[in-house]
Structure 1
């Protein structure tokens, strides 16, 4: 092991490092905590997230309203087989992104939004960082609004604005606490999500096998009304394919948040060990939680069920609840509604956390004001937290008559921004591999080596771009200017940010030999991380799950 580390050091040292930059880097773990960071590092932030935190962030980051509610719209649009194939297909795209992200984030364990600027093009990093931040900031407002609507399920006479204000204050206050608070809260929120999904999978097996009021079900919904739902087109074969394709953007929105591991890498203790562990198991979690849930939803609920077409955001619109009602189970709606409240509060908490860390990364790259890098003694970027949290107040737009239309635009920005970010991560990984090759450094020396490369990253990039360009096909038949802008506003915004930055600052593409593979890496190599083994049965159980 010692010889391997020496060989890594000698290979990296083959490239001269600027003396002034080298002198500015911290020489010890103590200095690393108090020194001002150079561009691209996050040494002011504290590495306080433990392995169990990161494992549950990786699991719970993707389980949200997209699965508990949005999966119903996917089922009604594509049918059980169409939705299942769509979620499985997008799952492979997500996994291609995650293994590439894992390779970069374990070698240079910083916020992944810095990777495009480091390895590829500063303008790409600027555009990706800002649209990704904007999507999380806007989603914060959406989640706060959803929390009020969920509580209205129990108290329909209460105004949504009350809960937008209350939860905004609580979640914003939590994000001003040290990052390990965020890790603990997400740990327990994610635990609730995971237990709920596992419980539903067991429930689905039992009901489908005959425990419900209708007896044995099997694959009856695949026969009537059918495995694929026709959508828009008149030709039946084409209509079924169109239904499948229309669900891809919904599936992408459901998976959004998987990449939070890459944001948390900058504040994770012992990232060389914990990040690869979280990345490796992402595929199995996707397969088990998402594809498993969609499979059983499709078995228990026919795609032409009227409740699936509801615009509600509480338990009545959840296919989990609809499945229970069809089976004759009466108590589940209230339970699912309570879980949904935990889901949206967890998502809102993640929105502020991730948004603030993206701003810190942008500031370190020179793409945002330096004031956003200011942190408390506990390592919390309080200015970035306050700025990101302020956008949650847009949730009060729900009080106006036209607020819903504006929110439709915001939702689309958030969904497509996920595909744009995944594409940029894939491009960054290709550039990262080229930088290693230019230095003569073998990928076999990396702490974590992604498989099937570079073909797997190219696979993700290609299909992510195709989905981004075609997801708004409904605007073209017949042509609708309003629908076009709603569907493509995020792509238009991304192009404007990229071109505008390129024209104003005249940035150039990064030469592979000049790519910064050192800043933020050596500081981590010099730090000592104390391992904390779980002592409680609960902690040991989740360590085993992870």
Structure 2
């Protein structure tokens, strides 16, 4: 039997096992309530197209039972039944997942936050911080890809952390992740408002905040633009906005190279060769070692959202086919988008440039500064429009990520049951509304203390992202341990992380070092401290997420009294989608090795394993 036909036969066997499981799981292993939930199968494809797209009132009704969009095995504990067959529907296409991976997190951190990072750390400090975070992130996404492809369960890494580590810790991580995106939402709305003020300051910031908030609410209520908070709507919005962001960033890279080499318009600042002048004067590092440490949290904030690929795996029909390429493209995003554009910014603008300190929003964006000084008419407006669309796109990602995680928390009993409400269009409406409640926090920026709010929100969300990535690495380490102890081979995995468990150890180690560096900056901030209240405020601005996470962990333990499971007791069956044997996988990979060399190189760099 050929490798391909063997896998096809195995897939048919999966379906047979699934049908048998559906028939017996309730009576044999579950209480009556769980049995009824499993046996009630809801097929969303039987609904009208208007309902599936969320374009009529019927779509807002609760979806009954569970869908059977995923083939799963094993007998789930009652609280994990929702993760076996989530009501969130598998609508995402490969192109959606690709763009979520490549352009999903390009927003405020790169377009705006890189300016303050350059002022604090200098061009070398920025590159050091982003490269270290990039190496760490590659290992995180590889680990996440390996687990998400094998277990495309509702709640993604939160659910896996609950299973592989400890429900109390997962409770803390899940709520920390929800609040991370809840506070980033008002931040993004505020940045969108300040971005528009680039063209005119005659309209108050509060008016722009209200406008953008109303636009988001209207999209939710009317279901326009393909139901923006449903799976398909979010995916389409992210695809097209990511395309625009990538085009503009690549355009900026080419223009930046020309300007640095002295090819800018005559009479502009870049009509003569600059090269590495600003690395010598004023220098490569703005504040020495402290400056480098201070940039890490901004780098983490700029990469926030990369882990959304793991959440999206639940809403993808065939994650084994589409996820590997999305995971691998993370490397190219880091290399080509972040590192290249940040290198150009460090060469084109000195870290002590007054424009990096004066103004807000797009006024301090190094992208806008470079184009303004190059004297290229109209392009600065295109970049500004892109910044505005980018921050709104990240704002929508806040609702997507926060609502999906909150729904998973409710499904596992760690949040009120009202948040399990999912309508017939596959939208977790109650969870979406809960995240939107935080949007009015943007009005705080209208007050005199508004400038300080940005620092608080960035610091909270940045460290929260680090804790999430650390949890993913540790979860993967525990998964590999359980996989080995329970007699499985790595060859059974449909996708293996590039560095294996050692890659996760490296990623976790780098995250711990970054957390230590951030603690150092929190205690001894750049520029010194006046002591007393000012020192305490500076510490909590830098490290607020840590005590918040610990508080949630204590609450989770006091509530459920759970302890970490032994590797032998970890459930490796519930929600598992790939059940191929070692021999079948060897045949499959041997078949793929017969492809031409250029095809194998493409697969290794961009496509599936």
- Over 3 Å counting, the alpha-carbon distance change for 1:513 and 1:29 in structure 2 is farther
2:373 counterpart residue number: 326
2:386 counterpart residue number: 339
1:159-197 deviations in whole A, cap 9, x for unaligned?
A: 222222222232244356232111111111111100011
Report if the CA contact (8 A) 1:80-1:298 is conserved: yes
Gaps of 5+ in 1: 232-239, 526-543
1:436 counterpart residue number: 483
- Over 3 Å counting, the alpha-carbon distance change for 1:191 and 1:545 in structure 2 is farther
Aligned-partner Cα distance in 2 for 1:524–1:350: 32
> How far did residue 64 of structure 1 move?
0.6
1:20 counterpart residue number: 29
> How far did residue 3 of structure 1 move?
4.5
Aligned-partner Cα distance in 2 for 1:204–1:545: 27
Aligned-partner Cα distance in 2 for 1:208–1:484: 38
1:538 counterpart residue number: none
1:210 counterpart residue number: 262
- Over 3 Å counting, the alpha-carbon distance change for 1:302 and 1:409 in structure 2 is closer
Gaps of 5+ in 2: 19-24, 46-62, 67-79, 265-269, 581-604
> How far did residue 454 of structure 1 move?
1.4
Report if the CA contact (8 A) 1:117-1:365 is conserved: no
Is 1:127 aligned to residue 136 of structure 2? no
Aligned-partner Cα distance in 2 for 1:71–1:400: 25
> How far did residue 30 of structure 1 move?
4.1
Report if the CA contact (8 A) 2:102-2:329 is conserved: no
- Over 3 Å counting, the alpha-carbon distance change for 1:141 and 1:104 in structure 2 is same
Pairs aligned (count): 515
1:228 counterpart residue number: 285
Is 1:471 aligned to residue 522 of structure 2? no
1:369 counterpart residue number: 416
The partner residue of 2:573 within 518, 523, 543 is 518
Aligned-partner Cα distance in 2 for 1:121–1:321: 46
Aligned-partner Cα distance in 2 for 1:31–1:215: 62
Report if the CA contact (8 A) 1:48-1:269 is conserved: yes
The partner residue of 1:164 within 209, 212, 215 is 209
1:181 counterpart residue number: 233
Aligned-partner Cα distance in 2 for 1:200–1:365: 45
2:460 counterpart residue number: 413
Say which SS state the counterpart of residue 211 (structure 1) adopts: coil
Report if the CA contact (8 A) 2:445-2:453 is conserved: no
Larger CA deviation: 278-287 vs 508-517: 508-517
The partner residue of 1:79 within 122, 145, 148 is 122
2:314 counterpart residue number: 266
> How far did residue 26 of structure 1 move?
6.5
Aligned-partner Cα distance in 2 for 1:97–1:81: 24
Aligned-partner Cα distance in 2 for 1:403–1:42: 44
Say which SS state the counterpart of residue 82 (structure 1) adopts: helix
1:475-502 deviations in whole A, cap 9, x for unaligned?
A: 4234511111222211000011112211
Aligned-partner Cα distance in 2 for 1:367–1:425: 19
Aligned-partner Cα distance in 1 for 2:334–2:326: 12
Aligned-partner Cα distance in 1 for 2:150–2:354: 50
Say which SS state the counterpart of residue 337 (structure 2) adopts: helix
Say which SS state the counterpart of residue 500 (structure 2) adopts: coil
1:14-56 deviations in whole A, cap 9, x for unaligned?
A: xxx9942596656989499853471534511111111111111
Q: Aligned-residue CA RMSD in angstroms? A: 2.8
2:96 counterpart residue number: 53
1:532 counterpart residue number: none
Say which one has the larger Rg: 2
Aligned-partner Cα distance in 1 for 2:347–2:413: 51
Say which SS state the counterpart of residue 454 (structure 1) adopts: helix
The partner residue of 1:500 within 538, 548, 555 is 555
Report if the CA contact (8 A) 1:174-1:182 is conserved: no
Say which SS state the counterpart of residue 438 (structure 2) adopts: helix
